[in-house]
Amino acid sequence: MMMFENTLAFAKQLDAQDELASYRDRFHHPVINDKQVLYFTGNSLGLAPKSAKDYVNAELEDWAKWGVEGHFHATHPWVSYHEILTPAMAELVGANQSEVVCMNSLTTNLHLLFVSFYRPSAKRFKIISEAKMFPSDRYLLETQVKHHGFSPDEAIIEVAPRSGEYLIREEDILAAIDEHQDELALVFFGGVNYFTGQLFDMEKLTQAAHTVGALAGFDLAHAAGNIPVKLHDWDVDFAAWCTYKYINGSAGNVGAIFVHDRHGDNTDTPRFGGWWGHNKERRFLMENTFEPMTGAEGWQLSNAPVMGMAVLKASLDIFQQVGLTNLRQKSLKLTAFLQYVFNDVVAQFPDIDLQIITPKEPERRGCQLSVKLIGTDKTFFSALTDAGVIADFREPDVVRLAPTPLYNSFEDIYQFGQTLKTLLAGWRDE
């Protein structure tokens, strides 16, 4: 285990040893009020790759040159543009290429997947999920069970942290699966909880679900591009994720789905249909009967939003150059350094109650630390923002910090510590 020091010289030493340090320069770093900020919110919106403009301009030029014929004659023909994203995206989530496709947006995709994988019966209708999941996921569950005629209070089983704790114990999830096994239709979790940053054991949860005859699906919004994932090997049934957080795909850009081959290869698997999911060899014959493609592509509805996908391609090309394994190695060290610097600074102010609620064990988290500002409101977070630290606030009193390995440096973390120290000193003196 590396011994850290909370000094500028040590931070610079770590940056000098970092083989991925040069990738920082491939991204635009925001300058606000004439000052380059410390950006720790890649878990909300990743930074813009400098290459993105060239990727989009190439498609704009082909649009100007070809018009509608760009669907077939552009440098990257638009009719199949989504296919060039698949290899990199499948690699990010540990899937076969047949199991992944980029399409739509996250919650839209989850609703489409629930058509296929939440098919409750009078006996099996319950869904087990984590308490304090992202609101859009909770709304998804609520409206899905209502759509099928069930009461959310009865159908949705939320596993919460024990009294006085912030994290959900794995044994409590497994106990809930066992308790409701005869009525359980689906286990559905965020791979990484957005609020606490807790990483769930997706392989174990999937196995537990399958053992009792249920299916397992995951929202990977805070996992994809952040932690190593092996969806195929873990036997996960389905998953979906956005691309604008750790994957740096730009605000609100296209999402992606995973459907395990055992479901995707079965064209009788129920789903909603659209012409882009229809047999692509017959797509333009305009036939009346839907014939789904095999694999995840059979869940597509509409043709690809090429301009957004061009931005996504710019980032995915960087991921393929770096490799998620290398990013994870840096992430572990970067997040551990943030944990050390934070604790070192806070220890100097014993009368102020700030604590990290993200798991301390590196293998149980990604590159996020959630900090609880006990007894405060949003005022302290606003002071951080005014001081040039771009983080993320969640009610009632949590600041989320994400040291992202593609573009954050160890010096960023040291400077954050100095800013935090200055603010805490001022706060104590008030």
User: 10-residue block means of pLDDT along the chain (430 residues)?
Assistant: 91 98 97 92 97 98 98 97 98 98 98 98 98 96 98 98 96 98 98 97 98 98 98 98 98 97 96 96 92 97 96 98 96 97 94 91 96 79 92 91 98 97 78
> How many separate helices (H) and strands (E) can be counted in the chain?
14, 15
C-alpha closest to that of 177 among 125, 214, 142: 214
Rounded to the nearest 10 degrees, the angle between the axes of helix 52-66 and helix 306-322 is 140
* Distance of alpha carbon 383 from alpha carbon 99, whole angstroms: 45
Burial class of 218 by CB neighbour count within 10 A (0 to 12, 13 to 18, 19+) = buried
Strand partners, 356: 371
Q: 274: how many CB neighbours lie within 10 A of its CB? A: 18
Q: What's the CA angle centered on 254, arms 317 and 297, to 5 degrees?
A: 90
The set of residues, in sequence order, having a beta carbon less than 8 Å from that of 88 and lying 6+ positions away, is: 316, 317, 319, 320
Tell me the backbone φ, ψ of residue 337, rounded to 5 degrees.
-65, -40
pTM: 0.96
| Cα 291-259-358 angle, rounded to 5 deg | 155
pLDDT for the residue numbered 376: 67
pLDDT at 280: 93
Q: Residue 53 is inside which H or E element, if any?
A: helix 52-66
Rounded distance between C-alpha atoms, residue 127 and residue 137, angstroms: 12
**The pair of three-digit structure tokens given for residue 226, joined into one six-digit string:** 């952040």
* DSSP state for residue 338 in the 8-state scheme: H
Domains contained in the chain, CATH given? 8-48+324-429 (3.90.1150.10), 54-320 (3.40.640.10)
Torsion from C-alpha of 398, 111, 88, 52, nearest 10 degrees: -70
The DSSP bridge partners found for residue 218 are: 189, 239
Query: CB of 188 within 8 A of CB of 215?
Result: no
- What pLDDT is attached to residue 430? 57
Query: What was the pLDDT predicted at 428?
Result: 59
Q: Helices marked H in 156-305 — which ranges? A: 170-179, 202-211, 261-264
